[in-house]
Amino acid sequence: MLDTKVLGGLVCDGTNTTPRHADIGIADGRIVAVGKIEEPAAATIDASGKVVAPGFVDLHTHYDAQVFWDPDLTPSPLHGVTTVFAGNCGFSIAPLVDEAAEYMMRMLARVEGIPVGVLEAGVPWDWSSTGEYLDRLEGSLAVNAGFLVGHSALRRVVMGERCVGSPAEDPDVAAMRRLLDEGLASGAVGFSSSWASTHNDSDGNAVPSRASDADELLALCEVVGRHPGTTLEFIPAVDVWTDEHVDVMARMSATADRPLNWNLLAVSQWDTDVAERKLAASDYAAEHGGLVRALTVPDALGVRLTFKTGFVLDSFPGWAKPMALPDDEKLAMLSDPAQRRHLDSLAKQMEGRLRVLAEWTPFTIAETFSPETKQYQGRMVWEIAEDEQRDPFDVLCDIVVADNLLTGLSTPRLGEDDGSWAARAEIWRDPRAVVGASDAGAHLDMITTFNYTTTLLHEAVAKRELLPVEEAIHYLTDVPARLYGLRERGRIRQGWHADLVVFDVGTVGPGEVYTRFDLPAGEGRLYSGGTGIEHVLVNGVEVVRHGELTGAKPGTLLRSGRDTETVLAGSAP
């Protein structure tokens, strides 16, 4: 007898071939039959009128801490995701030493927008090696999860306080190589790092990985190449790239003989030339023995910022230290007219695409937290400034101070038009790009890209008909799975793991976003479920039924070499 059979669905197998109506039989966590199934089963899922697809694969999350207080890794499975990868951007929380825990917590609070109180209350911080951390998670998760070893964690453990702003000496590099080697041998799936200017610690200093040079990165990448089934992730810069950024990614990939994906490529119809220049990094890498892929977010990119965390705002010239101040000092600074003028003048020196934010007028007051500011909720700063005949930055500061720094400021969501969605679809079709970049588990009060899978299906397939459903499924499943060498996942195929999502293509989409106060210490986060996601199975077990979690925890803790196979830089998937 089968454990489960899924009957009558339109099967999109992940390979972008023509879908067909078929039943799927599942036993012992595997797909044992695809076709007409008469054999009885302990459970039956009626998928008639629905699409049956492989579970979605999310290459870029920051669930490293959330795994301890939310092993369901919500909201990802509610959007059809069955496999996630964490430890990105250099921000793993293993390896660890006791004296580094406080720094790591405050760094994560700064760069990932997870309140310190949540990290203190929700994470035990009692492991040392990467292997010990991974062992803690074995058998506890709702979805499959793999974890990279982060560069900043390696630096902090080895170099102590010298990790910030100081070059690594030869003994430091040797010690980091040993730790990375041990972590990969225990099952970590790769190595991650960042040179991004927005990545600053709680003191306003550049995170440890930003003090590395190319030689240090290459020395660590060489270790990655010793271990099967491993990969690389890197953020070279936030906006403007130099030749050095392109070259170092190519050399990292070639040295490890592994793929490297960089984060993040956002696309609208107005910046396709910028996208093409960055995609050309893949061509350069191929010419120099590397395999580089752009991780692209399939949505109009908008964010919600706060002066409390200061993330992104701290990328303005001279703003890193002020945005790292304690709340009381920050409030005093924003209340002082002279210091306001100084901050404003510094922000106006910003270059690149973020320069427009320093005009302040594009911000919308998305959410307020005091009676006197409620009147401004939903209005743009320029409207308020014009009505009150006041300076825009003064208007903004007064609202932020009255809200005790909590004011939610939304940026313009450029690229929600049809032309931009068409431009993004062309990027998905480019073999130099891979869909992803959810950042799920991070920036809890800032972004909602955790719903990128249901957004893509709603906007590009159901609403605009830019591509057929089987092609969209291909980009959400098989493409990322093959890039990371996932063994027997990402396709519906006999003998492969039964990671499946059953959805209604007519109603699939992201649910309404709201603030949900379900974090440790009573803190809140931006959250939404999905619509039209009827069933999600991980290793043959339902983790979502009719849009609700079942409580089951069948996920596999993915270990390199066992659950992933080696993808060589010279063999582009």
Region 2-54+500-549: CATH code: 2.30.40.10
Q: What pLDDT score does 146 carry?
A: 99
Tokens 């949505």, residue? 299
Q: Which two tokens stand for residue 252?
A: 């990292």
Residues of the chain with CATH 2.30.40.10: 2-54+500-549
Mean of the per-residue pLDDT values of the chain: 96
Using 50, 70 and 90 to split pLDDT, how confident is the model at 572? low
**Mean pLDDT throughout 432-436?**
97
SS (H, E, C) 428-456: HHCCCEEECCCCECCCCCCCCHHHHHHHH
pLDDT in tens, 244-295: 999 999 999 999 999 999 999 999 999 999 999 999 999 999 999 999 999 9
Size of the chain in residues: 573
In 36-110, which ranges are E strands? 41-46, 51-54, 56-58, 81-86
Q: What pLDDT score does 340 carry?
A: 97
pLDDT in tens, 236-252: 998 789 999 999 999 99
pLDDT in tens, 22-75: 999 999 999 999 999 999 999 999 999 999 999 999 999 999 999 999 999 999
Q: What pLDDT score does 571 carry?
A: 75
Residue 352 predicted with pLDDT over 90: no
Rounded to whole angstroms, the maximal C-alpha distance in the chain is 78
- Percent of the chain at pLDDT > 70 equals 100
pLDDT in tens, 137-190: 999 999 999 999 999 999 999 999 999 999 999 999 999 999 999 999 999 999
Residues of the chain with CATH 3.20.20.140: 56-300+414-483
Domain 56-300+414-483 has CATH 3.20.20.140: yes
Residue 573 predicted with pLDDT over 70: no
**Cβ 62 vs Cβ 444: under 8 Å:** no
**Cβ 80 vs Cβ 453: under 8 Å:** yes
**292: closest CA among 318, 270, 314, 262?**
262
Residue 373: how many CA atoms within 13 Å on its side-chain side? 26
Higher-pLDDT residue of 514, 481: 481
Q: How far apart are CA 372 and CA 212, in angstroms?
A: 47
Pairing of strands 30-35, 56-58: unpaired
Residues 6+ apart with CB under 8 A from 148: 85, 86, 87, 88, 92, 188, 189, 190, 191, 192, 231, 233
pLDDT in tens, 294-351: 999 999 877 888 998 888 898 899 999 999 899 999 999 999 999 999 999 999 999 8
Q: Is 389 helix (H, G, I), strand (E, B) or coil?
A: coil
**Mean pLDDT throughout 75-85?**
98
**Mean pLDDT throughout 101-113?**
93
pLDDT in tens, 416-428: 999 999 999 999 9
Out of 195-199, 283-287, 334-338, 466-470, least confident range? 195-199
- Percent of the chain at pLDDT > 90 equals 89
Out of 198-212, 348-362, 435-449, least confident range? 348-362
pLDDT in tens, 489-540: 999 999 999 999 999 999 999 998 878 989 999 988 989 999 999 999 999 9
